Amino acid sequence: MALTEEDVTALAQPARRTASKKTFQIKTTNVVIDLIVASAGIGAATALVDGGRDWRPAAVAMLLAWAFWFGRARMYSARFITRRADEVRRIFDAGMLVAASIAVSSFVFDWSIRRWWLVLAVAFAAVALTLEREVMRRRYDRMRVSGKFRRDVLMIGDNHESEQLERMFAEEPKLGYNIVETIDPKQAENPQQLVTTVLAAARAANATGVIVAATGIETKASNRLIRDLIDAGIHVELSSTLADIAPKRLTVRPLGRFPVVYVEPVQRHGWRAVAKRTFDVVVASLALLAASPVLAVLALLIKRGSEGPIVFRQSRVGKDGIPFEVLKFRTMVVNAEEILADLMEHNEGAGPLFKMKDDPRITKTGAFLRKTSLDELPQLWNVVRGEMSLVGPRPALASEMAEWDADLYGRLRVKPGITGMWQVSGRSSTTFEEYTRLDLYYVDNWSLVVDLAILAKTIPAVLKSDGAY
């Protein structure tokens, strides 16, 4: 017997009602906050520049335009602004449309407003909205970490992929998902029974959505399930089976009756490579020049602190497996390499990486240099020479490569960097599995914007000394 529309409606009614109420409350609150903040931006522009005779009706129209274009840009739908960069881009795109709307309105209604007032009002409102959204994003993150403001969802699938998804949601509460139940589709005798089971579970748990692990369910069952859940007002998200590939590289297109995902190739050559190299040389050269007094003081401290050279040189593996000498301020005693074997039983690092919290080889000056990451300043010269980049995977030792799996050799496709995703994501507290994943993610999804974002995160990571010892 087929599941009727009345059955679907009855089973999903509590979830639908809960979802609609929460969604309406959140959207209404966000709209009001956005309008208040945009008003502040317009008020600041009016205080600086005379808006003209008709600035008041123009200001009201501007607020309405912000609300309209934000709605069109899906700024009140969380799934469209998951990434911070997407949200910022949508704000400024909406700002340009707001400016165009007011310009057209002033022509139609013959408003007398000043051009600079319009430019400043839109610009100030856009900046204020960006800051407000960032504050709200952080507030929601804190609430989710504390266990609040999470969406209760069901996990459909009981296999390795679903386990990885559940582990990710548990480790990253900022994503805002709370798995209340996992349902194995294989336990259902037919697609109809699976739909009934899922809807009943959603009703019992007041779940507003489901996450479907694509590899854990057959196509026939998933099609029926997804259609009926959507008809019942349940939010459905289907995993792509692709991990660690930037969404901007994915394009969904029809291929016959199947929607397929096309993965854009990584562009590591051409103007992007020239831009990255130019950026590296200019920034590293300027940094060396600006830091020269600090370099001189550190060199003196190292020389007076212990015997040995000021700069430590060590062979590392560079791009395409070509070895080079990495430069660092010496932080250890001169025979550090010789006594390493005696300390291996105290290794606290991940995989082949050696880390020891109270490493006896580190000098007093070296401990300070490591905690502040100042020991890596000489690597700026490695960047100028073209052996390293400002951003990239950590330069590995040849001995570490003996424990690499085949995938990790992919990190040799780019130059190693002074900083990278691994360094700003926990550093020595990061597991070797995570270290591998972050390095390969960078290699596969590199862009100039990613480099700038990592550099921006490096400073607070160094100041907090995350995992540094």
229 in a domain, yes or no?
Answer: yes
Least trusted range by pLDDT, from 14-23, 154-163, 296-305: 14-23
Give the list of residues 6+ apart from residue 397 with CB closer than 8 angstroms, or none.
314, 315, 316, 317
**Residue written as tokens 């919290």?**
357
- Number of alpha helices (DSSP H) and beta strands (DSSP E) in the chain: 12, 10
The answer to whether 404 and 431 have CB atoms below 8 angstroms apart is: no
Q: Other CB atoms closer than 10 Å to residue 356's CB: what's the count?
A: 17
Give the list of residues 6+ apart from residue 33 with CB closer than 8 angstroms, or none.
132, 136
**Could you give the 3-state DSSP secondary structure of residue 244?**
coil
90 in a domain, yes or no?
Answer: yes
- Token output for 300: 């003196």
263 in a domain, yes or no?
Answer: no
Of 98, 125, 145, the last residue of a domain is 145
Kindly tell me if the per-residue pLDDT of 432 is higher than 90: no
Do 201 and 278 share a domain, yes or no?
no
Kindly tell me if the per-residue pLDDT of 156 is higher than 80: yes
User: How many domains does the chain divide into?
Assistant: 3
β-strand partners of 209: 153, 235
Provide long-range contacts, Cβ within 8 A and 24+ apart, for 45-50. 45/117, 45/120, 45/121, 45/123, 45/124, 45/125, 46/117, 46/121, 48/120, 49/114, 49/116, 49/117, 49/120, 50/114, 50/117
Of 222, 241, 260, the last residue of a domain is 241
Of 200, 225, 241, the last residue of a domain is 241
CATH number at residue 200: 3.40.50.10700
Question: What range does the domain containing 371 cover?
Answer: 271-464
- Token output for 56: 């008041």
Do 14 and 128 share a domain, yes or no?
yes
pLDDT tens, position by position, 72-122: 988 988 777 787 878 888 999 999 999 999 999 999 999 999 999 999 999
253 in a domain, yes or no?
Answer: no
Give the list of residues 6+ apart from residue 364 with CB closer than 8 angstroms, or none.
305
pLDDT tens, position by position, 177-205: 999 999 999 888 888 899 999 999 998 88
Beta strands 235-238 and 389-391 are unpaired
Give the list of residues 6+ apart from residue 458 with CB closer than 8 angstroms, or none.
419, 423, 424
Give percent of the chain with pLDDT exceeding 70: 86
pLDDT tens, position by position, 29-64: 889 999 999 999 999 999 999 988 999 999 999 999
**Residue written as tokens 């051009």?**
115
Least trusted range by pLDDT, from 130-134, 192-196, 438-442: 438-442
- Token output for 328: 């660092």
Tell me what the mean pLDDT of segment 4-18 comes to: 53
CA distance 111 to 52: 9
